[in-house]
Amino acid sequence: MPITAEQANELIRQRRAVFPNTYTNEPIPDEIVKEILENANWAPTHKLTEPWRFKVFRDKALLRLGQYLAQWYKEHTSPEQFLERKYNKSLTNPQRSSCVIAICMQRDPQERVPEWEELAAVASAVQNMWLSCTAYGIGCYWSSPRSILEANEFLDLKEGERCLGLFYMGYHDMPAIAGKREPIENKVTWITE
């Protein structure tokens, strides 16, 4: 059954960032996480480089991820800038989530396309994940703290691979929020001649 334009419009316009402090304890089944990742796999990719790579943190690994993020923040923040609230958020946000996915990019070894195209492909894959989560009623958001951008060893990244952030996911109890955008007319120039 084909998706109508109205259904696609509604899905795209309902996508929101939903943060871990609103997540419930209901686990996301592995089958749904796999389906969301499969949808990511269908993002556009120039020369079929398919640069997206994902590392899924579940169960006890969420505690380990939170400990890493909190420790990194503590070690890289001066005492006068250190905020206990931010430390605790780094520690607990992964544990509030049903899963957290490290969003990584594997650069094409032959560099057949510019790096920005690989980044755009990964961002498109994440948008597919975000729209899929919206359709499943799952809250999510993409976070890119320096701690994870510099986590090559923690994430055991391969040569040419880099992390672009974390994708937090969880069922939530937050009511729908109206979106805000400036009118598209302010951002478009029509060229007819």
Residue 131 domain-assigned (yes or no): yes
Residue 4 domain-assigned (yes or no): no
Residue 6 domain-assigned (yes or no): no
Residue 3 domain-assigned (yes or no): no
Q: Judge contact between 133 and 28, C-beta under 8 A.
A: no
Residue 143 domain-assigned (yes or no): yes
pLDDT > 90: what percent of the chain? 93
Range(s) of the domain holding residue 60: 14-187
Residue 9 domain-assigned (yes or no): no
Residue 2 domain-assigned (yes or no): no
The enclosing domain of 49 has a CATH number of 3.40.109.10
Instruction: Using DSSP, state whether 15 is helix, strand or coil.
Output: coil
For residue 29, give every residue at least 6 positions away whose Cβ sits within 8 Å of its Cβ, in sequence order, or none: none
Residue 179 or residue 35, greater confidence: 35
User: Sorting pLDDT into bands at 50, 70 and 90, what band is 47?
Assistant: very high
Please state the domain count of the chain: 1
How far from chain centre, in Å, is Cα 34?
A: 15
Residue 106 domain-assigned (yes or no): yes
Assessment of whether the complete model's pTM goes beyond 0.75: yes
| Angle (CA) 161 164 168, round 5° | 125
For residue 158, give every residue at least 6 positions away whose Cβ sits within 8 Å of its Cβ, in sequence order, or none: 106
